[in-house]
Amino acid sequence: MVIQVGYFSLVLTFLVALYGAGAAAYGAIRRKTEFVESARHAMLLTWPLVTVSVLAIVWLLVSGDFQVRYVYSTTSNDMPIYLKVTALWGGQAGSLVFWSWLMAAFTSAASLRKWDRDRELLPWVVVVTMVNLAFFLSLSILFENPFARMWRTPDGSQVTAMFQPGGTMPLIPIDGRGLNPLLRHPGMIVHPPMQYLGFISFVIPYAFAIGALINGRIDDRWIRISRRWTLVAWLFLSLGLLLGSWWAYDVLGWGGYWGWDPVEVSALIPWLSATAFIHSVMIYEKRGMLKQWNMVLIILTYALVLFSTFLTRSGVLSSVHAFAESAIGPMFFGFIGVTFIASLILLIRRWGALRSESQLHSLLSREALLLLNNLLFIGILVVCVWGMLFPLISELATGQKVTVGPPYYERAIAPLGIGLMLIMGVAPLSTYGRASWKPLVRALLKPFAASLLVPLVLALRGITNLGALLGFWASALVALVTLYEFWRGAVARHRRHGEILPLALWRLAGRNRRRYGGYVIHLCAVLMALGIIGIEMYQTETQATLARGEQLTLGRYVIIYDSLAQFDDPGGRYVTRAVVSVYRDGKYVGEVYPRQDYYYAPEMTVTIPGVRSTLEDDLNVMLVGWEPIPTGGTTFRVILNPLVNFIWLGGLLFIFGTLVAAWPDRKS
């Protein structure tokens, strides 16, 4: 019963979305407002309808109806209930419905706003969002049906079908295969929803942009509406990326937070173009320039969302993160092709109308520097897209597989990253419009001079790596310039209004939240840069086989292997757990417990490092292997990651900064 209700509600949503798209288009072309109103109601109806399907899947997952193939392949009896719920996004079929659900929620939220001023945009926004929603729903209905059940044919083979095929019997396994243990981690529970939210919420700015292109009302309404949506989408996507790297750092046991795996790169690329947009839209708002370029960036961002989703879900890329091979590929490819080509035709048709007056007084003005920032972000984007596409091209051209891995990305992106940091250090001090050397140099002088102290002190303390010194210097410059900006603004208010400094600071940020929120985000970039320099350039590791009581040294740390225990755990796993004492500079600082968990249900082993974490560094101890006899040797791998926690610290501050920037203005 639940199965039928869930499935039919999915089909119904699909029909409603199609109707909404059709009615909105008809109403817009024939100028019939009642059709547009009806389409808007259809749009509002989609979310409750998909909610029914989502609840049905969750019900099936929690109650453990293993005849349903999706339930069978993602859960097992021994999983706790919260994991059964999160299995909703633990596999292709469920996560597609989850994706549609989020998309319906976002589009409904977008349609709730006041539309009086955007009568002409609305119908096309409905068309674009509903076509996209209908497409993702059709994938669920036609190819990846989460409600499909397993049946046994008379000759003993099994089939998967929504409805009972003639002459078959229901096939009801007593237990499921269980969720991939790598996904049983708090980071993995929150990462996909954030990542999906980030991805799908770009459909709203995209829909506004396409709406403006179709009806030719290319004034600045669409960009004003898009801007905040983009910021929200950007927040979710950034959080998704951060949580994803935290998960990789914690669970994959590579001692790294980012491996330049094609799927990771594919999650990054829409973020790059969105970040470029967030910067270039400021030029538009301040100077009315670059309408064309902003339009390109918004469309590009959503196109990259589709591109990434296609690559990960169609089986073209193979990776630890990718979904298994799937039948949705051809249809998805068709949708991408139509979207790309239609967007491009629209863009070219309206290119002339999008022209805006461009004034540039100086190559040192804020707008010129922001464009330089765009060049660097797009440069990183090109590096990433090329790194993903080249193995595919090479395989097609020569039939031979190649790997384009971390060294490629690191070498290509490091200089661009340093360039971005430098611009981040200079641009906040530059002015829009007429800018000249003198005031910029005067403003820059103090923070610049102070920033030079940092590499100097570090060099004296024995750091000789030029790249690291350069990175630390650029970080110091950005930090000092940003703090200097806060200071100057607060002091100016203090002088003028006689406010005490903290209050002045608070009011200052409140008056121009986007600017100061942006500066907070720049400070996050500094914190993250510290973490990245630490782990990329100063990570050290060692591995050895120890007998009990033996020790292993890495830098200032010494670990001593105390004992090893093996036992069954109620979570359906067989745990091998070592006790290791950690000494730092000869002083005992605590114990860590590296583990290997063997999960019975999907027959997989997960390595969980024992971590001693401080702001200065993380000591990861991993259990690599052990001899069957308990007295035999046990192999440990010890990885020391200096400064890595600054990445996560920056991430926390980042949420704060984006919220400051995106918080809605009080209506005056």
Partner 1 sequence: MHKTPPFLSILAVLLLVILLAPVPTAAQGNEPTDDEVNAIAKQLYCPVCENIPLDVCPTQACRQWRETIREKLAAGWSEEQIKQYFVEQYGASVLATPPAKGINLLVYILPPAAFLAGAFILLRTLRSWRQATIQAEPVVPVQPEDPYIARLEKELRRRDG
Partner 2 sequence: MTQEIPAEAGSSQLPRRWGIFLVWFLVLGILGVLGFSLMRAHQGPIGIGDGVPDFILTTFDDEQIAIGDLRGQVVVINFWASWCTPCEHEAAIFEQAYQMYKDRGVVFLGVGYADTEREARAYLEKYGITYPNGPDLGTRISQAFRTHGVPETYIVDPDGHLADVRIGPYATLNEIINAVEGVLGY
Q: Which positions touch partner 2 (CB under 8 A)?
A: 290, 292-293, 296, 300, 307, 310-311, 314-316, 325, 329-330, 333, 336-337, 340-341, 344, 348, 355, 358, 371, 374-375, 378-379, 381-382, 385, 389, 392-393, 395-396, 399-401
Q: Residue 412 binds what, of partner 2, partner 1, none (CB under 5 to 8 Å, by partner type)?
A: partner 1
Residues 275, 279, 280, 282, CA torsion sign: positive
Q: Residue 417 binds what, of partner 1, partner 2, none (CB under 5 to 8 Å, by partner type)?
A: none
> In this complex, which beta carbon is closest to partner 2, that of residue 25 or of residue 269?
269
> In this complex, which beta carbon is closest to partner 1, that of residue 149 or of residue 522?
522
DSSP structure class, residue 429: G
> In this complex, which beta carbon is closest to partner 1, that of residue 363 or of residue 500?
363
Stretch that binds partner 1, among 385-393, 469-477, 644-652, 653-661 (CB under 8 A): 385-393
> In this complex, which beta carbon is closest to partner 1, that of residue 138 or of residue 280?
280
Cβ 288 to partner 2, closest distance in Å? 14
**What is the rounded distance in angstroms from the CA atom of residue 134 to the CA atom of residue 560?**
59
**What is the rounded distance in angstroms from the CA atom of residue 46 to the CA atom of residue 29?**
23
Residue 375 in contact with partner 1, rule: CB under 8 A: yes
Residue 224 in contact with partner 1, rule: CB under 8 A: no
CA distances to 54, 72, 417, 568 from 59, rounded to whole Å, are 9, 14, 47, 29
> In this complex, which beta carbon is closest to partner 1, that of residue 38 or of residue 362?
362
113 phi-psi bin (left φ>0, alpha ψ -120 to 50, beta other): beta
Residue 288 in contact with partner 1, rule: CB under 8 A: no
Q: Which two tokens stand for residue 507?
A: 């009011």
Q: Residue 320 binds what, of partner 1, partner 2, none (CB under 5 to 8 Å, by partner type)?
A: partner 1
Beta strand pairing call for 158-161 and 540-546: unpaired
Q: Which two tokens stand for residue 354?
A: 């999008």
Residue 363 in contact with partner 1, rule: CB under 8 A: yes
Q: Residues 176, 193, 244, 489: which binds partner 1 (CB under 8 A)?
A: 489
**What is the rounded distance in angstroms from the CA atom of residue 54 to the CA atom of residue 56?**
5
**What is the rounded distance in angstroms from the CA atom of residue 255 to the CA atom of residue 416?**
25
Count of residues making up the chain: 668
Residue 360 in contact with partner 1, rule: CB under 8 A: yes
- Helix ranges restricted to H, 159-261: 186-200, 203-215, 221-251
Cβ 297 to partner 2, closest distance in Å? 9
**What is the rounded distance in angstroms from the CA atom of residue 643 to the CA atom of residue 185?**
23
Q: Residue 340 binds what, of partner 2, partner 1, none (CB under 5 to 8 Å, by partner type)?
A: partner 2
Beta bridge partners of 560: 551, 581
Q: Which two tokens stand for residue 322?
A: 């990718």
**What is the rounded distance in angstroms from the CA atom of residue 198 to the CA atom of residue 109?**
15
Residue-by-residue DSSP string for 473-533: HHHHHHHHHHHHHHHHHHHHHHHHH---HHHHHHHHHHHTHHHHHHHHHHHHHHHHHHHHH
Residue 388 in contact with partner 1, rule: CB under 8 A: no
**What is the rounded distance in angstroms from the CA atom of residue 119 to the CA atom of residue 111?**
12
Show contacts with partner 1 in window 142-201 (CB under 8 A): none
Residue 319 in contact with partner 1, rule: CB under 8 A: yes
Residue 211: burial class (beta carbons within 10 Å; 0-12, 13-18, 19+)? buried
- Looking up tokens 């007998």 gives 547
Show contacts with partner 1 in window 627-666 (CB under 8 A): 635, 637
Long-range contacts of 507-514 (CB under 8 A, 24+ apart): 509/660, 513/660, 513/661, 513/663, 514/661
**What is the rounded distance in angstroms from the CA atom of residue 116 to the CA atom of residue 122?**
10
Residue 445 in contact with partner 1, rule: CB under 8 A: no
For 542, the 3-state DSSP assignment is: strand
**What is the rounded distance in angstroms from the CA atom of residue 69 to the CA atom of residue 80?**
19
> In this complex, which beta carbon is closest to partner 1, that of residue 68 or of residue 296?
296
> In this complex, which beta carbon is closest to partner 2, that of residue 63 or of residue 359?
359
| Residues in contact with partner 1, shown as a per-residue x/- string from 400 to 439 under the rule CB under 8 A | xxxxxxxxx---x---x--------------x--x----x
Stretch that binds partner 1, among 316-324, 517-525, 529-537, 655-663 (CB under 8 A): 316-324
> In this complex, which beta carbon is closest to partner 1, that of residue 64 or of residue 419?
419
**What is the rounded distance in angstroms from the CA atom of residue 471 to the CA atom of residue 456?**
13
Q: Do residues 99 and 10 make contact, with C-beta atoms less than 8 angstroms apart?
A: no
Q: Residues 41, 349, 488, 556: which binds partner 1 (CB under 8 A)?
A: 488
Q: Residue 69 binds what, of partner 1, partner 2, none (CB under 5 to 8 Å, by partner type)?
A: none
**What is the rounded distance in angstroms from the CA atom of residue 464 to the CA atom of residue 361?**
41
Q: Residue 616 binds what, of partner 2, partner 1, none (CB under 5 to 8 Å, by partner type)?
A: none
Q: Residues 545, 550, 569, 571: which binds partner 1 (CB under 8 A)?
A: 545
Show contacts with partner 1 in window 592-611 (CB under 8 A): 605, 607
Q: Residue 399 binds what, of partner 1, partner 2, none (CB under 5 to 8 Å, by partner type)?
A: partner 2
* Cα 401 off chain centre by: 28
Residue 512 in contact with partner 1, rule: CB under 8 A: yes
For 305, the 3-state DSSP assignment is: helix
Q: Residues 33, 63, 543, 614: which binds partner 1 (CB under 8 A)?
A: 543
- For the chain, state the CA radius of gyration: 27
Q: Do residues 583 and 557 make contact, with C-beta atoms less than 8 angstroms apart?
A: yes
Cβ 71 to partner 1, closest distance in Å? 28
Cβ 331 to partner 2, closest distance in Å? 11
Q: Do residues 13 and 105 make contact, with C-beta atoms less than 8 angstroms apart?
A: no
Cβ 377 to partner 2, closest distance in Å? 11
Size of the site for partner 1 (CB under 8 A): 61
**What is the rounded distance in angstroms from the CA atom of residue 668 to the CA atom of residue 666?**
6
Q: Residues 351, 386, 588, 656: which binds partner 1 (CB under 8 A)?
A: 386
Residue 215 in contact with partner 1, rule: CB under 8 A: no
Phi, psi of 504 (to 5 degrees): -60, -40
Q: Residues 63, 163, 503, 541: which binds partner 1 (CB under 8 A)?
A: 541
Residue 613 in contact with partner 1, rule: CB under 8 A: no
Residue 465 in contact with partner 1, rule: CB under 8 A: no
- Residues near partner 1, by CB under 8 A: 252-255, 259, 261-262, 318-320, 358-363, 368, 371-372, 375, 378-379, 382-383, 386-387, 390, 393-394, 397-398, 400-408, 412, 416, 431, 434, 439, 443, 488-489, 492, 496, 511-512, 541-545, 605, 607, 635, 637
